[in-house]
Amino acid sequence: MPLKRILAGPVEDAARGLLGCELVREDVVLRIVEVEAYAGPEDTASHARHGRTARNAPMWGAPGRAYLYFCYGMHWMLNVVTGPEGVASAVLIRGAEVLAGMDTVLARRRAAKPSAQICAGPGKVAQALGLARESDGLDLLRAEGLHLRPGLTPGAILSGPRVGIGFAVEPDRLRSWRFALAGSPAVSRPRIAP
């Protein structure tokens, strides 16, 4: 199934569909191994919970757009917009494996040596790709600049609750909308179960 069609579907299906896909920017290629799904205003864990704002406006855009936000005054976080245009939902890219461009990733992450965990965490993913505000709203389905392309077809997928959403109501905190490729050493901690 084409990536655009997968991303146009329900956010939890789009999240699973992004596992194994590749993010490409310059010489860096990352395989997506961990994601979290966030729905619209009805999801109290979502940035869309208070409606449309200047910050979250890309979430209401066309599927396949980038939604970047600055977290804790330190890290950019990359999300892929999903669902039909006008319906806010996005998938946070939580973890990735480096397929190409490790030297660039090491320089951007200021790391001394390669590690399976070098892109285990959403801030690390955005840093490895060299992302900042100018990437917010980009069409990731265009094969230029930062883009997304199909990759490995996932085998077993793990799921569990999302991370860092203590402010959300309990049903949303417990929702199993965090997905990861089973067996990937790049999945962030704490690990999730099958």
The domain spanning residue 50 has which CATH number? 3.10.300.10
H or E element that contains 105: helix 102-109
What pLDDT sits at residue 188?
82
User: What pLDDT digit, counting tens, does each position of 9-33 carry?
Assistant: 999 999 999 999 999 999 999 999 9
Task: Report the domain count for the chain.
Answer: 1
Tell me if the pTM is above 0.75: yes
Closest CA to 35 of 146, 153, 180: 180
> Domain range holding 116?
3-181
Asked if residue 134 belongs to a domain, the reply is yes
Which residues lie closer than 8 Å to 144 by C-beta, 6 or more apart?
Answer: none
Asked if residue 187 belongs to a domain, the reply is no
Asked if residue 189 belongs to a domain, the reply is no
Measure the CA angle with vertex 55, ends 41 and 4; round to 5°. 70
Whether 166 shows a pLDDT value over 60: the answer reads yes
Closest CA to 65 of 174, 168, 141: 141
Closest CA to 131 of 140, 120, 141, 123: 123
Distance CA 164, CA 154 (A): 26
User: What pLDDT digit, counting tens, does each position of 80-139 carry?
Assistant: 999 998 889 999 999 999 999 999 999 999 988 999 999 999 999 999 999 988 898 899
